[in-house]
Amino acid sequence: MSKALKAKDQLVRILVPAGKAAPTPPVGPALGARGVKSMDFCKEFNARTAHIEPGVPTPTLITVEPDRTFSFITKTPPTTYLLKKTAGIEKGTGRPGHEVTGTISLKHVYEVAKIKAKDAHLKHLKLESIASTVIGTAKSLGLQVVP
Amino acid sequence: MMFLLLSRSSIRRPVFSPRLARGYVAKSSNTERIPNISAKDTSAAEEKTLSSCPPGTILEGLNYLKGQPPVIALPDDEYPSWLWDLLKPKVYEDDGPGGKAEKKRLRKENQQRIKDQNFMKTQ
Say if residue A9's pLDDT is above 50. Answer: yes
CA–CA separation, A12 vs A7, rounded Å?
A: 15
Is there a contact between A107 and B73 if contact means CB atoms under 8 Å apart? Answer: yes
Is there a contact between A106 and B60 if contact means CB atoms under 8 Å apart? Answer: no
Say if residue B31's pLDDT is above 70. Answer: no
User: Who's near A60: CB < 8 A, 6+ residues apart?
Assistant: A13, A14, A15, A16, A45, A72, A73, A74, A75
CA–CA separation, A41 vs A69, rounded Å?
A: 10
DSSP state at residue B49: -
Residue B38: the pLDDT is 46
Structural contact between residues B70 and A56, judged by C-beta atoms closer than 8 angstroms? no
CA–CA separation, A39 vs A27, rounded Å?
A: 10
How far is C-alpha A56 from the geometric centre of its chain's CA atoms? 10
- Taking only the tens place, the pLDDT of each residue in A90-118 is 999 999 999 999 999 999 999 999 999 99
Q: Please, which residues 32-91 of chain B have a Cβ atom closer than 8 Å to chain A? A: 50-53, 57, 59-66, 68, 71, 73-74, 79-80, 82-84, 86-87
Q: Which residues of B touch A77 (CB under 8 A)?
A: 64
| ipTM of the shown complex | 0.75
Residue B11 pLDDT class (50, 70, 90 cuts): low
- The CA distance from B16 to the nearest CA of chain A, in Å, is 57
Name the strand (E) or helix (H) holding A146.
strand A143-146
For an interface test with A, give the residue of B49, B52, B65, B66 to mutate (most A CBs within 10 A).
Answer: B66
3-class DSSP assignment, residue B85: helix
- Taking only the tens place, the pLDDT of each residue in B63-113 is 888 888 998 889 988 999 999 999 999 889 888 888 899 999 999 999 999
- A92-to-A97, A137, A141, B36 alpha-carbon distances in Å: 11, 10, 4, 44
